[in-house]
Amino acid sequence: MNTPSPTTRHKQLVQLILDVATQRLDLQLPDGTTSSYPVSTSKFGLGSEEGSFRTPTGHFRIYAKFGENSPAWMGFKGRKPTGVIASPGGEEDLILSRILWLEGLDPENSNTRDRYIYIHGTNQEDLIGTPASHGCIRLRNNQMIELFDLVEEGTPLLIKA
């Protein structure tokens, strides 16, 4: 059986669904194929309040993508690569490998883009599967790169409690 190339598969994409309760992000294709990724959402809980460091819920779309062709574990500041490859661990909540910047589509989460809520790689891969971020959605770096290659700007995302 032939596996579709990332280009072929990403044209078929239906949506992303993140279940905060299970800390899983599912990529659903129209042919019924699903890929599932463990994630880490906010350790401060759910919400859309400015400065809350919480993960928003509701309907979103991928507003912009950053980091194409950057090496795994590349650090980002202001959505630009720093030139520094991070090491695993540490207390700092680093943004690594790739960035999918989210835009809220519901009135209650319409400030998501201004809050700089991303899906991104992390230096704290050991915490994936538990709420540990500062509001963003973290993935393991190799899975972040895989997901990045499978989605386009405009891809819908549902984040549910």
DSSP 12-49: T--EEEEETTTTEEEEE-TTS-EEEEE-B-BTT-B---
| Total number of domains constituting the chain | 1
pLDDT bracket for residue 33 (50, 70, 90): confident
Contact criterion met (CB below 8 Å) for 127 and 107: no
| b/e map 74-84, b = 16+ CB within 10 Å | bbbeeeebeee
- pLDDT given for residue 1 in this prediction: 41
CATH classification at residue 102? 2.40.440.10
Q: Could you tell me if residue 1 is inside a domain?
A: no
Whole-structure pTM value: 0.90
Q: Could you tell me if residue 99 is inside a domain?
A: yes
- The arithmetic mean of pLDDT across residues 10-32, rounded, is 84
Model pLDDT for residues 78-117, shown as the tens digit of each residue: 999 999 999 999 989 999 999 999 999 999 999 999 999 9
Residue 155 lies in domain: 6-160
CA torsion 32-36-40-42 (nearest 10°) is 10
| Tokens describing residue 60 | 């979103």
